[in-house]
Structure formats: structure tokens, C-alpha cells
Amino acid sequence: MNQHNNTNEIVVALDIGTTKVCAVVGRKDEHGKIEILGTGRMESTGVLRGMVSNIEKTVKAISDAVAEAEKRSGVQIGVVHVGIAGQHIKSLQHRGVLVRDSVHDEIQQEDVDKLISDMHKLVLPPGDKILHALPQEFIVDNEMGIVDPVGISGVRLEANFHIITGHTTAFKNIHKCVQKAGLETASLMLEPLASAEAVLFEEEKEAGVALVDIGGGTTDLAIFHEGIIRHTAVIPFGGNVITRDIKEGCTVMAHQAEQLKTEYGSALAEALAENRIISIPGLMGRDPKEISEVNLARIINARMEEIFEHITWEIQRSGFGRKLVGGIVLTGGGSLLKHICEFAEYQTGMPTRIGYPIEHLAHGYGRELCSPAFATAIGLLLKGIERSEREVAPAYGQFASDNAPSGRTAHGTKSKEKDVPFLQRFLKNTRDWFESDPEQDRSMK
């Protein structure tokens, strides 16, 4: 039988973004680094601001990206770890309490898991669903500030939770697209949390840091302090809005606007020479259009100021504005704009760097994986491998399927044991029968 705690377990990550759909196949090598076996990338036309707007287009993009990843890796992909974002994502704080039976017994991992599971029963507004219930700190018998309560004796176990919610319809649409592409969802994870896994260092999380993932449709924010996730937010502006501004401001075609942004775009107009001119071929034999590089930067700068005003407001709202010693880490495709670090430092007053998702990768990865645009996909891969090693029930979403395609494991490789679900049910029923109360059985008779 295939063992999930095998360090060579093959895992597949699927990043369904506004501009691209990316599939990455990888596994952990003997040195603890991630070996990338294959990637697939396709243009995304069925996703708007992080949410599925066209099922069929999204299904085709997923199928094509997965097929390309299968061809490059030689792995038959069955189940994937998926990222989710969108302006429907919200977060809240809540405290959970679990009263144990005995003061003498040590707190077990099962107690912590039960406390986390109870959070998923929290009453929410209609149409909302809990995506993550992340414990921030634990309290055992009024003793506060405990990071890991396992092994401590106590009766009353409490925890402060950072709970992330989203619309049920958005979850279902993602799940439906993956299913129509012939795949199963092993886990569903908020994209900025995945990106944080790929580009942040533990020292930064401990000191306090704000991750800003500038994607095509949204800009995602995740704030860490003392190694704990403290605040998350999704801002409904991204690189596509900048492209649209360039298209309208310079009166050019959409593909020309995208090319202007990626090749000549800058977040700071003051850093450019006034006399540099960009020439764009005219439409259908018309005269070329000339655009000042400074004017292009001013168009980009106006939208970037709006995005960073939202980011600054969210950081202040979190209450950790003065505690982020690590400053800001920018990632995502939008972080490739020229002079964006200088712009972010000027707007926020915080030290800023670009986050590249290469720290956890083994040698030999492709050049395209060095891009911040792949931070989410690499992060999903890291969390998928971590989950497969722990052999736990899905902790990053509620869509793990009990009816995965026959002959496939939860991570895309073929299984040698097809009757595992039946065997598990048989053993459970047998154990329940032996553990039943004889007195209760006689009274029922």
C-alpha cells in the first residue's frame, strides 16, 4: 500500500489565478528540498478577480495545464491541492473552549484537533463557509501565551483563532471546475497563506512582516507576528486593473497595454528620464503611436497609490502597524514592476523586499519558477507535501473527496490497494462492536 509519509510522495499543486492557471508536480528529496518534476501553465480567461466567472473556460485551462504538467513530469495526476482567493474572503477573531475530563492526563493532539474542529461549527451569515480556523495562541487553565499545549496537564483548553471565511458558491465553483477536469481536490487553501510558505523566512514571521501578493485580479495581504498569522485581507485590485488603465489612458490594444506594463512599466515616474519615448506599431498599417515612458509610469503610479492606500489601511486596522520589524515582502506577478520596492517604502515607510519562491527548491529548477508569479503554486506544493507527511484529515478546506477516482491516491500517483475504504469501514465497525457497552445492549433488547 502506498504510504503517505514517504518523503518521495508526489504532490500536485494547482493555482487557479486571474491571469494564469498553473499546475506544479513535485516531491521532497532526501535533503528536505522540493524537487520539481514538471509544470504546466495556461492563460486563464474564465476567472475574474480571483473568482470563477466562466466554468467551461476555467475547466479547459485546468485540463490543458494539468496535461502539460503530466507530459513534462511523466506522472498521472489524479488529485490536486488548490488555492483560492477573491474579494469574498473575510477574516474574524474567535475564542474556542474545550473542557477535558481529567486534570491528570496530558493534553493530546486529539484535544487540539477537536478544538479546531469545533470552530468549523461556528454560526456564520448565510452563504458563508469557514475555509481555515488557525489557532494563534493557547490558554491552559488560565495560563496564557502557550504556543503548543500538547503534553501539558490541564482541564480547560482555550485558543484564540484567526478564522478565514468565504462564499460557499465560490468554493463550489472551484470544486466543480476541478471535478469537471477529471480531478479531485485534496485541500483548498487561501492563496496568501500559500505564498507566505514559499517566500517568508521564519525569522521574518517572528519579527513581524506583512506579505503583499499582487496578482492579476486581487492583491492579497497576510500579516505575521511572533510566528503567528494575525491578519488577512483581499483587496479587489491587481495587475489587470493597471493594464486596463494603460489601455484607456494610452488608447492602445489590451495586449499592447500588457506589453507596455511588463517591459517598460515603472511604479515611480520620478526615476525615469523625461525624454524617453516608446513607439507602438499602428493598427492595420496606420502610423505608429508614440508614448512617453514618464506618462506611462504616471498612469501606473496612480493605480499603485490606490492599491497601497488599501494595504496601509489594512495594516493599521490589524493593530500591528508599529510591530512589523520585517517590513513588507512583495510577491506575485505585480511585484515585477520596476522600482516597486522604492515605491512601497515611500508609501508605507516600511523596509520592503521582493519575495522569490526559491528558498525551499532543490537545485535544477527552471528559470520560470524563480519568478514571484509562482509563489502561490510553490506554497501550495509545500503545504501539500506537509499534509501528506502528517497523514491527517483535510485541514485546508472542506472539499476532500471520499469518492476519488478508483486506482488513484490523494496525491496523483496510482494506488496498489483499491479496497482501502472498505477495509477501513470494516475495521471501524468491528472496533465499534467490541467497544460497545454490554449493559446498554441488553437494555435495548
Answer whether residue 94 shows pLDDT above 50: yes
Q: Tell me the backbone φ, ψ of residue 394, rounded to 5 degrees.
A: -55, 125
Q: Tell me the backbone φ, ψ of residue 44, rounded to 5 degrees.
A: -100, 120
- Written as one string, the DSSP assignment of 39-57 is EEEEE--SEETTEES-HHH
Give the C-alpha separation, 172 to 179, whole Å. 10
Give the C-alpha separation, 212 to 190, whole Å. 13
63-92 residue pLDDT tens: 999 999 999 999 999 999 999 988 889 999
List Cα–Cα distances, 428 to 329, 342, 435, 442, in angstroms: 47, 60, 10, 22
Ranges 208-217, 299-308, 389-398: which has the least confidence: 389-398
Q: How many CB atoms lie within 10 A of CB 148?
A: 11
Q: Which of 7-11, 292-296, 390-394 has the highest mean pLDDT?
A: 292-296
**H or E stretch at 222:** strand 219-225
Contact between 185 and 410 under an 8 Å Cβ cutoff? The reply is no
Answer whether residue 404 shows pLDDT above 90: no
Helix ranges restricted to H, 151-290: 168-180, 191-199, 202-207, 239-250, 254-264
Q: What average pLDDT does the chain have?
A: 85
How would you list the strands of the sheet with 156-167, edge to edge? 90-99, 156-167, 128-140, 143-146
Give the C-alpha separation, 329 to 321, whole Å. 14
**CA nearest 174: which of 162, 184, 159?**
184
**pLDDT on residue 407:** 33
Give the C-alpha separation, 371 to 147, whole Å. 34
CA angle 34, 39, 42 (to 5 degrees): 145
Task: Report which residue type is found at 155.
Answer: V
**CA nearest 332: which of 58, 19, 14, 53?**
19
Answer whether residue 138 shows pLDDT above 80: yes
Torsion angle, alpha carbons of 386, 404, 63, 36, to 10: 30
Band (pLDDT 50/70/90 cuts) for residue 409 is very low
- Written as one string, the DSSP assignment of 351-405 is -EEE--TTTTBPTT--GGGGSGGGHHHHHHHHHHHHHHHHT-S--S-S---SSPP
Name residue 40's beta-bridge partners. Answer: 23
**pLDDT on residue 103:** 67
**CA nearest 389: which of 72, 137, 27?**
27
pTM as predicted: 0.82
Helix (H, G, I), strand (E, B) or coil at 251: coil
**pLDDT on residue 422:** 44
Residue whose grid cell is 508526489: 10
